[in-house]
Amino acid sequence: MNQAMYTSSIPVFKQMLNSLQVILSKAEEHAAAKNIDANVFLQARLSPDMFSLTRQVQIAADFAKGVAGRLAGAELPEFADDEASFADLRGRIAKTLAFIENLTPAQFEGAESREITLRPGTPKEKTLIGSAYLLSYGLPQFFFHVATAYGILRHHGVELGKRDYMGQY
């Protein structure tokens, strides 16, 4: 049995999604303590043409869901992008965690050589085998959005440290 794609994806997604939960809780507490509208943080961004915190979290969750689910050959649940509070975002992450925790190692058997097509039917269509899909596409994308969510909150004064980003390992 070769379940390397399971052990290379599910534990790291879980680790970082759980760290995002803590980061979002600390941001919410910070907003409450300073009497700042939560939307100031939820809509914050590092640059006018970058995504807001809310969107960064949604996309991070979607990469965890999509990458894990495609490697497993599972049907992907659809989540509406309608989160409007820190509690909503934590709920989105919780739903994502529930989905990926329900995937079994056996579903990842052979996933390293399974072909996965990005942006099918578009001019940017690109097919990768599972191992490249995870390592050269999925993880770089996922970590980008987690680190950017952290960076937005640090930039806006929330007291966080690298330990909050790294989570439990």
Position 157 contacts its own copies (CB under 8 A): yes
- Please select the residue that binds its own copies; options are 63, 99, 139, 164, rule is CB under 8 A: 139
**Token digits of residue 71:** 């490697």
Q: Which residues pair with 116 in a beta bridge?
A: 128
Rounded to whole angstroms, how far apart are CA atoms 113 and 119? 19
Q: Which stretch binds its own copies (CB under 8 A): 28-36, 76-84, 88-96, 124-132?
A: 124-132
Of the candidate spans 28-36, 69-77, 102-110, 135-143, the one that interacts with its own copies by CB under 8 A turns out to be 135-143
Burial of 131 (0-12, 13-18, 19+ CB in 10 A): middle
Query: According to the binding rule CB under 8 A, does residue 155 interact with its own copies?
Result: yes
Q: Which of residues 70-99 bind its own copies (CB under 8 A)?
A: none
Q: 106: which DSSP letter?
A: G
109 binds its own copies (CB under 8 A): no
The nearer residue to its own copies, 1 or 169, going by C-beta atoms, is 169
Residue 75: DSSP 8-state: P
Q: Which pair of structure tokens corresponds to residue 156?
A: 């806006």
Percentages (nearest 5) of helix, strand, coil residues in the chain = 65, 5, 30
Residues that bind its own copies (CB under 8 A): 4, 7-8, 11-12, 15-16, 46-47, 50, 128, 131-132, 135-137, 139-141, 143-144, 147-148, 150-151, 154-155, 157, 162, 165-166, 169
